Amino acid sequence: MRLFRYLMLTHLLMLLSHTLWAQTSTSAYYEYEVECLGVELDGSQTLRAWGVGRNKSDAVEQAKKNAVRAVLFKGIRRGLAGCNTKPLIFEVNAEEKYEDYFNVFFLDGGEYSNYVSMKDEKRVSLFKKDKEKEKSKHFVKYGVTVRVLRADLKKRLEGDNVLQK
């Protein structure tokens, strides 16, 4: 009888300890929107973007792509007033229509990187959010501050006949 109580107590403690220490965090699965931090006089926008990757460099690269993609297709809805909220491309399903073009454009180290700058990262880093980095078992999520050269990007798309003048 003592052995039975001992085994039951041991199993109960193991079950209880597993539920207390094996908590799963779902915050890394939450998708943050790109947020506008400011507009420069040269037609560029300073944005806060998030990216997910296997490591920090992959996540930062993805955050840059997300910032450019938001400027192109979604527009920037969060952040400071006075930011340009409209997307560059208004055409419905433009990403699918010009899929071949944008697949090459968004390759790792592709042409999109000519229109993204990280020079504001250090300046705005004094105002970091509480959750600049989030981890999961399989990936990490990083928030970075980037400057997207919106005017130059618009000229490029007009030159490539993706955007009509």
pLDDT tens digits for 40-74?
Answer: 888 889 999 999 999 888 999 999 999 999 999 99
90 in a structural domain: yes
Answer whether residue 106 is part of any domain: yes
Domain membership flag for residue 22? no
2 domain residue, yes or no: no
Q: How much of the chain, in percent, has pLDDT values that exceed 70?
A: 72
Provide the pLDDT for residue 15: 64
Question: Which residue range forms the structural domain that includes residue 91?
Answer: 32-159
The pTM of this model reads 0.74
120: in domain: yes
Q: Is residue 86 part of a domain?
A: yes
pLDDT tens readout for residues 98-120 = 999 999 999 988 899 999 988 76
Alpha helices by DSSP H, listed for 22-165, are 56-69, 94-97, 99-105, 121-124, 150-159
Could you give the number of structural domains in the chain? 1
